[in-house]
A and B are shown apart, each in its own frame.
Chain A
Amino acid sequence: MATQTESELKMAQLLVDALNLEDMEAEEIDPEDQLFGDGLGLDSIDALEISLAISKEYGVQIKAEDEGTREAFKTLRSLTAFVEENK
């Protein structure tokens, strides 16, 4: 597993809390694993929950129609980088 940075760990904790991920600790989310589909197994409702949690925590709005959104939601690493860039 790739090593999490401090900001990735904070984002991982947001995911665990917002999505109520069962039996999973924030430290266990590989920053380079796919969040959706085969990786963590998240789905479209989770994407909405993540957007809401990020908007409340970081004040960053993620819009479904924006070009960068699909790329941002790929991994914990890309999501954290997207939020850092848009804060």
Chain B
Amino acid sequence: MPSQERDAFLDRPWKDSTAEPFIRIEGVTKRFGTFTAVEAVSLDIYKGELFSLLGGSGCGKTTLLRMLAGFEEPTAGHIYIDGVDMIDVPAYARPVNMMFQSYALFPHMSVEDNVAYGLKRDGVSKAEISQRVADMLSMVELLELQKRKPHQLSGGQRQRVALARALVKRPKLLLLDEPLAALDKRLREQTQFELMNIQDQLGVTFIVVTHDQEEAMTLSTRIAVMDHGQIIQVGEPSEVYERPQTKDIANFIGTINMFDGEVMSSNDSFLLRCPKISKPLKLPSQAELNIGQQVTLAIRPEKIKMTLEDPHDSLQITLRGEVLEFAYMGNISIYRVKIEGEVVLQITIPNLDRMAERKIEWDDQVFISWHPENSLVLRD
């Protein structure tokens, strides 16, 4: 492979078909009695990734994480970490550490002892332990609080102790179970960037379990969306957002407007015949379609333009509508616009101008338009 091309993949090894995955999950299934928590999951994760497992509660993401940590044994399949099969390796012998959702700080030990615990188990010398603990605590800015007990710390501080305790062993892989769920919104945003910085500094591979799609979008190099124990899509955040593979994913990640209908053909392109709307909608040209097929056209709210006058742009799809309501969110405004056939669309408009100079109000008759290439074709 030419070195130039290799460089292009340096940050994105999953694009490089020759790259060796660091973690390989191969056909892993986990059943509890008759309930299947994880079903035939296969996944490759590369060194230095910040990988998110995203899904609602009960989708199997936590079970998958617990199998990586060694708390649960897969019913079938294999997990390789750095080329070693983990099946017979007990949790305490794995080169993996975990940050628990509840943080699981030992309540009877000080911050210092909590962080030192893992190193002591590895038989690291005392001098080295105190050095590494101090380094780690200063990295998370908790050096002054090292003598405190966990219940004398705030939520954010506990979270950082938990992170320090998991990272001090320099694991090959760090697992984070809902790392930010217990923090309030402000702290969560701040901590998100701290996590990314630390991950960047140490180069440790992170796997994060989260139900928060925004969190997954901001943090991750790649996201695996899970549902009913299966992975339904893996990709970079922008791929998952811009090119969701199913209606469920499109709905789960962000908001999306959808039109169901039947494919019909015009001279050079495909159109969607939507029973509620008189005008056929132009479908994106890349989609592989057959005439007569039932599909869904989907368009993200921020990709729709809204004007008081007809844009007269033949390349775009233009519909007429009436503003039902809108919400001012500060940075953006969210409009709900009714078009013909009682179809209501959601549109977000960046607030480029001040509130006072807003142009579109309740009950205004508007033109909404989008470029067909910005829309998506989804199947069930």
Q: Do A and B come from one complex?
A: no
